[in-house]
Amino acid sequence: MNQVEKEGTDEAKTEQNQEGSAPSQEAGSGTPAPAPAPEPAKEKVEVERGVLESILDNQKRMEGTIETQTKTIEMLKSVADKGRLAKYDADHSEVLIRRANVGVWEGAVVLGWASAKDEVGFVHGVLKETQIIKLYLDAGKGKEPTTEEIEFLYFYRNVKRLFGDIIRESRSSTGETKTLKLEDGREFELDVRFINL
């Protein structure tokens, strides 16, 4: 091989290096440039026409079935009893911790209440109503609850609410109770009638 042919192949290699691939060094930096990521190889699969048509027919049939089932589910949800759907969702939910709130009266948690006086009558043609409730308030750990009688409407308008997590639930023949853990760490086992879920 003579000198001219050798120079021609060197120039061809240099042009190919500049056009087809990244240069081995970045201009002016003196550090080698990263190699380009190789493209993933594409595989070709040969399938007989009958098998391919069968696969495509099955896919179309499945899409039609899914669309029909989706419409049926939407129709059933629209005509279903909303209360039963909500109960089903609550029973089958994966929420581990549920929130609830309890009444607080003058800084004490309301453990329960009962009607003490409920009188309704007409006085000079005007309906008069007297509703007094007996509150059972938390007095502290290990102490008996304190009681206080108060007008129901005044209580209803002025009671405060405190949020907590339901950590336990129990049911018995006498009723259902939930144990509520407040944000300050106190725990109360309360009848479900006296907490707001």
Is residue 104 located within the same domain as residue 72? no
Provide the pLDDT for residue 148: 92
Is residue 111 located within the same domain as residue 163? yes
Contact present, 113 and 104 (Cβ < 8 Å): no
> Which residues 6+ apart lie within 8 Å of 178 measured at CB?
100, 166, 168, 169, 170, 189, 190, 192, 195
- In which residue are the tokens 């800084």 written? 107
Rounded CA-CA distance 146/113 in Å is 11
pTM above 0.75, yes or no: no
> Which residues 6+ apart lie within 8 Å of 193 measured at CB?
112
Residue pLDDT, tens place only, 70-123: 999 888 888 888 888 877 877 777 655 678 888 899 889 898 888 899 888 898
- Flag whether pLDDT at 55 surpasses 70: yes
Residue 88: both structure tokens together: 């089903």
Provide the pLDDT for residue 31: 66
Provide the pLDDT for residue 179: 86
- Flag whether pLDDT at 166 surpasses 90: no
Is residue 172 located within the same domain as residue 144? yes
In a domain, 159, yes or no: yes
Is residue 113 located within the same domain as residue 75? no
Is residue 181 located within the same domain as residue 126? yes
Is residue 60 located within the same domain as residue 138? no
Closest CA to 131 of 120, 121, 142: 120
Residue pLDDT, tens place only, 15-37: 444 444 444 444 555 566 677 77
- Flag whether pLDDT at 2 surpasses 60: no
**Dihedral sign of CA atoms 130, 133, 134, 135 in order:** negative
Is residue 152 located within the same domain as residue 85? no
Is residue 159 located within the same domain as residue 187? yes
Q: Which residues span the domain enclosing 76? A: 56-89
Is residue 85 located within the same domain as residue 107? no
What is the domain count for the chain? 2
